[in-house]
């Protein structure tokens, strides 16, 4: 009997400010009022069913409760949240740069 091979799930770290929402937030009120990027949220939600999604943000600890509230309000599917540097297979972030592009500049 052949075993069915499962495709590899990846750890995908997704940024909040400038990625899941427009702009940046520095207060709980700004976190809650941030404008969602529906196109990005839709794609992340599609990825959720095949991968482990970590919301990865530079927001301070005191903004995490408002961030989680915003994520739930806008239907963002995720497995974990972190505001610390972490290992990941992929990063989805508005401020990333590919190392090959970096070397060309």
Matching residue, tokens 């989805």: 92
Taking only the tens place, the pLDDT of each residue in 30-71 is: 999 999 999 999 999 999 999 999 999 999 999 999 999 999
Mean pLDDT across 1-16: 75
Cα separation, 24 vs 19, in Å, equals: 10
Range of the domain at 41: 11-93
The residues, ordered by sequence, that sit 6+ positions from 21 with a Cβ below 8 Å of its Cβ are 34, 35, 36, 37, 70
Q: Six-digit token pair at 19?
A: 């990625």
In a domain, 2, yes or no: no
| pLDDT given at position 5 | 45
The tally of domains found in the chain comes to 1
**pLDDT value at residue 85:** 85
33: CATH? 3.40.50.1000
Between 4 and 75, whose confidence is greater?
Answer: 75
């Amino acid at each position: 009997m052949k075993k069915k091979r499962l495709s590899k799930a990846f750890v995908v770290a997704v940024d909040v400010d400038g990625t899941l929402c427009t702009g940046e937030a520095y207060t709980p009120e700004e976190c809650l009022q941030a404008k969602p990027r529906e196109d990005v949220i839709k794609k992340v939600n599609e990825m959720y069913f095949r991968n482990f999604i970590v919301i990865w943000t530079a927001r301070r600890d005191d903004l995490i409760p408002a961030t989680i509230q915003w994520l739930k309000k806008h239907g963002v599917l995720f497995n974990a949240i972190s505001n610390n540097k972490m290992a990941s297979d992929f990063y989805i972030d508005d401020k990333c740069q590919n190392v090959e592009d970096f070397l060309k500049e």
